[in-house]
Each structure stands twice: as structure tokens, then as C-alpha cells.
Amino acid sequence: MSWWQRAVIYQVYPRSFQDTNADGVGDLEGIRRRLPYLKSLGVDALWLSPFYKSPMKDFGYDVADYCDVDPVFGTLQDFDRLLEEAHTLGLKVLVDLVPNHTSSEHPWFLESRASRNSPKRDWYIWKDPAPDGGPPNNWQSFFGGPAWTLDEATGQYYLHLFLPEQPDLNWRNPEVREAIKEVMRFWLRRGVDGFRVDVLWLLGKDPLFRDEPGSDLWRPGLPDRARHEHLYTEDQPETYAYVREMRQVLDEFSEPGRERVMVGEIYLPLPRLVRYYAAGCHLPFNFSLITEGLPDWRPENLARIVESYEGLLTRFDWPNWVLGNHDQPRLASRLGEPQARVAAMLLFTLRGTPTWYYGDELALPNGLIPPEKVQDPAALRQRDREPTAYHTLGRDPERTPMPWDASPYGGFSTVEPWLPLNPDYRTRNVAAQEQDPRSMLHLVRRLIALRKDPDLLYGAYRTYRAREGVYAYLRGRVACGPEPHGEGEGPGASARGEGGPFHPPGPGGEGGGEAFPAARRGRGGAARLGAWTPSL
Ligand code: TEU
Ligand code: CA
């Protein structure tokens, strides 16, 4: 077992964690000062969203210099200090790698757009206009509108799957791949433990730039991008080769006990997601609880999700689970606090590495963003279309400042923060929940501690029951045997449940023997029963 298989990963959105220089924006020094909090929560690894030099059109996912820190977040020295202190505390640090696109102000793009003959022209994706002068094809941006912008000076369009200020790099060009691998080496040499790779599933593009076919699923109100299927703009065959190349760089820097890992942001259906394991991605983010579980939080549906994922993994693939991130509405707002607690129990007791989003341990709900305070370009671009509702769109609500205590601005800052604190921050904050043993904070801390139990870390998964408002499952160190005496009327054991052990045995070398014997006899013991009711 490697560290990243035992770890709980905690995502920090640096702008919103802790401000230390009174500019209303969180910074690296703030994260450093809050390391003791993260340590006390019991997490093992931090993933930091981008803190690189950026014009901040997409709050750091538009990188202008991959190898420097944006002044709003601090300096490279601040980063080194944060990393060193995290390591001293036994915390790993993953940084965000944004290889699909740069900022339009990155020197590479400035050079590329300068002329059609620029040596870096082919570092980005340039195409002549269609015969009518319009965009080269019908590809749509994730943020609405065409994925192509015309550069008047050179008369060609460039591709951007996100904002026009985020031109897509041309991954077919080996120089581009080498440049990004050099960026990886830069941070690996500084000592980072790995990367969360942004939009990994979008790196490859159809070389023929074919139009996307219309989607049957589209209806008014859905984003433009949903007008079309995504046959040619995502999950292309060459993307697997790109992943393999990146993995090789990580392996160059890995030693036994000190693997450097790749966590991949991949929004794909599970059967396509799991192929990224074979390509070399250690942890292709499994968003199925977000995309399929939160909209349909019934026991039967949750069991179905868990079983279909378990059933797709080979014995070399280590599972992982996620409930929230900086692009998704807050867990507590989707489920309400009681079921958010249940969701935490689920996340920390399923098989595989959990990733936790900052603030969810307080059951922090979506923030309320007044129209004039909207920051997210995804929302601002809807302003014309949704003049009365645009401020409820976008991703600001899940990016509000961490409420540390009841002081003005919640201990996040001494000045007005870049986004407002949640209205209830005087009662919902870290200090208040520390005092309350029944708080979500205490629950999450206890769950993270509980997860260190070998049964939960290494044990198999098996559905025990999933019907009539109850989802119960077993976790244990040995392979699953037959159904427990007639109880298996739910969806049943996972597809991987039959036969011999299908995962490495626990540290003591356990293995073999009867599956969940204690549970089957209806007593406590090595196997654990995870179950919940809405009364928690
Ligand atoms: O997100 C990619 C992505 O697909 C999201 O934009 C998602 O579709 C959207 O937020 C709706 O849920 C990554 C980053 O996580 C996001 O913050 C960036 O804006 C985006 O890439 C571009 O780098
Ligand atoms: Ca600051």
C-alpha cells in the first residue's frame, strides 16, 4: 500500500482559506498558518488549487507563468516554506497542473499569436475561418458560446474550450508536451508529492476537427455545450498516451515509499473513466457521487453507483471518491446538514481514497452572492441571458471564505474579503464547532480517524442491504463470500465480490478465510457494517 492509497486528500482553494496581508484574498502564508488545523483534522494530503502567476480571469486556471507564484498569493519562498512545514507535519502536498490551456497573457501565447510564422504558432490550435468567415466548426466553450475566437491581426481563429483568455495548447506538438513536463519537473524538484491535473480528459482533440453531432439530451436552459455530443472534444485516444508520458515524469521522481502521484480531473461516465487507470493516472477522480448520487440520494441508487464502480475496477486500480470541489454546489446545500453528515460517513467508509473540499467539514452551505459581487466568469457570461438570476449561477457560492471564528470577517481577513462570508458565519465557524462535540467538524474528525482502521483502509466492500430507506454495507479484510443468509435482497454483492482476494491484504498479511464471518453470525468483529438512517 502506498501513502496515497491510505490518504485522505483535502482540497484548499487558496483565495478563500486564510488572508494574512489584509488584501481580502487568501494566500500561501495563510495556508501555512492553518496547517495545525489541517493536521488536527487528520487529513494526510493537501491539494492546492492554482496559485501561479495569472491575470485571474478564471481565478488562476488561466496561468501566465507556471513556474512562479502570483503576488496575490505570495512568493516562491512562501511556497517552499509551506511545503517544508507541511512535510515536517507529515502532510503531503499536491499542486494543480493546468496543462490544457494557458492564459492568453502567457509568453507562449503572445509569441504564438504574433504571426502565422511564429515558431510557437503551432503550440496552440489555430484554424482558418469557415468559408462564411465564421468559426472553423461548431465546438462550444464550457462557459457558453463558441470555442473559437478570431485573431483579427493574423486572420485565424484559436481554440479555447473555456474562456477566450484560456487558449488551448496543442498537445499534438511534442514541444508542448516537453514544456509541460518541464513544468512538472520544476515542481517535483521543489518537492511536491504530485499533481491534480486539470481537465485531463480534454487534452486530445480530434485531428480532423469534425463538427460535434447534435445532442438528443439538449433542452432550453441547459448550457450551450450540451447542445452537442462530445465525440471530438473529449476522451480522445491520444489522451491516454499523454497521460502515460506525464506518468513517466512522476516515476522519474518516485522512490519506494515516496511515490509522486497523478490525480486526474475527469468528468466521464464510469466505464470510460476507469480506462485512465491503465493509462497511468493513479487516481482518476470518481465524481459519480456528485454527478449521479447527489441528484438521486436514494439507498438503491447509491448502492448501484458503488457497485458499478467496484465492478469496473481491476485489482490494480485503487478506488477514490469525491463529494465536492470548487466547481460544484456545496454538499450541505444539496443534501441539508443531516444527510451531509451521512454523506461524510459514506465517503470515509467506502473503499478507496477520499477527497474532501475545504469547509464541508462545517456543513458550510452555498454562499449568497449579491449581483454586484459576482466574480465567476461562468456566471458573468450568463448576465445577458439571465439578467435576474445570473448571480445565483456560477461557482462563487462554493468558494466563499473559510469561517474560522465569530470575529469580523470570520478570522479569514481583517478587511472585506473578495467574496462575502456566509451569512451565518458567526455561529457556523471552526471555533464554534470545536466547542460542540455534536458538530459536523467533530464527526468528520472522528470519521477520518476511524478510517485508519485496516478494515476500512484495505478491506473489501460488499452491499448488505439497499432498500426501504436503508443502505448498509460491509467492509472487511478478506474477500467476499456468498450472500449473508438470505439478507441479500438488495442489489447484492459487488461484481468483484466472488472468488479470491482481489486487493492486497492488510499490513499483517491477513487474507483468505471466510468472508465477513462475524457479521454473518450477527456479531461484531473484524468486519464492519456501515449503515445509516436519516436521524443522524
Ligand atoms: O474544471 C473543468 C470543468 O469541467 C468545470 O468547468 C465544470 O464543467 C464546470 O465548473 C461545471 O461544473 C476545471 C477547473 O476545476 C475549473 O475551475 C476551471 O474553470 C476549468 O477547469 C478550466 O481550467
Ligand atoms: Ca492576502
pLDDT tens track for 113-158: 999 999 999 999 999 999 999 999 999 999 989 999 999 999 999 9
Which residues are near ligand 1 (CB < 6 Å)?
A: 58, 61, 98, 142, 162, 198-199, 265, 267, 326-328, 395
Q: 484: pLDDT confidence band, cut at 50, 70 and 90?
A: very low
- Closest to 190 (Cα-Cα) out of 81, 33, 321: 81
Q: What is the ipTM of this complex?
A: 0.96
- Best residue among 47, 106, 327, 357 to mutate for probing ligand 1's pocket (most ligand atoms within 8 Å of CB) is 327
Residue-wise pLDDT tens digits, 432-455: 999 999 999 999 999 999 999 999
| Residue nearest ligand 1's atom 3 by CA | 199
Instruction: Report the separation in Å between the CA atom of 219 and the middle of ligand 1, taken as the mean of its atom positions.
Output: 22
pTM: predicted TM-score of the whole model, two decimal places: 0.91
pLDDT beyond 60 at 487: no
* Residues ≥6 apart with Cβ < 8 Å to 60: 14, 15, 49, 50, 51, 52, 54, 70, 96
Q: 513: pLDDT confidence band, cut at 50, 70 and 90?
A: very low
The C-alpha cell at 4 is 496515497
Catalytic residues: 198, 252
* Residues carrying CATH 3.20.20.80, the chain: 3-102+173-357
pLDDT beyond 70 at 275: yes
What are the phi and psi torsion angles at 487 (to 5°)?
-85, -10
Ramachandran quadrant class, 145 (left: phi over 0; alpha: psi -120 to 50; beta: rest): left
Of all residues in the chain, what percent carry a pLDDT higher than 70?
89
Answer yes or no: are the C-beta atoms of 158 and 167 closer than 8 Å: yes
Q: How many residues are recorded in the chain?
A: 536
How far is Cα 34 from Cα 410, in angstroms, rounded to an integer?
14
What are the phi and psi torsion angles at 183 (to 5°)?
-60, -45
**CATH fold for domain 3-102+173-357:** TIM Barrel (3.20.20)
* Residues carrying CATH 3.90.400.10, the chain: 107-159
CATH of domain 107-159: 3.90.400.10
Instruction: Report the separation in Å between the CA atom of 49 and the middle of ligand 1, taken as the mean of its atom positions.
Output: 12
| Residue nearest ligand 1's atom 4 by CA | 199
Instruction: Report the separation in Å between the CA atom of 113 and the middle of ligand 1, taken as the mean of its atom positions.
Output: 25
| Residue nearest ligand 1's atom 8 by CA | 142
Q: 20: pLDDT confidence band, cut at 50, 70 and 90?
A: very high
Answer yes or no: are the C-beta atoms of 91 and 173 closer than 8 Å: no
Give pLDDT, residue 477: 67
How far is Cα 87 from Cα 38, in angstroms, rounded to an integer?
13
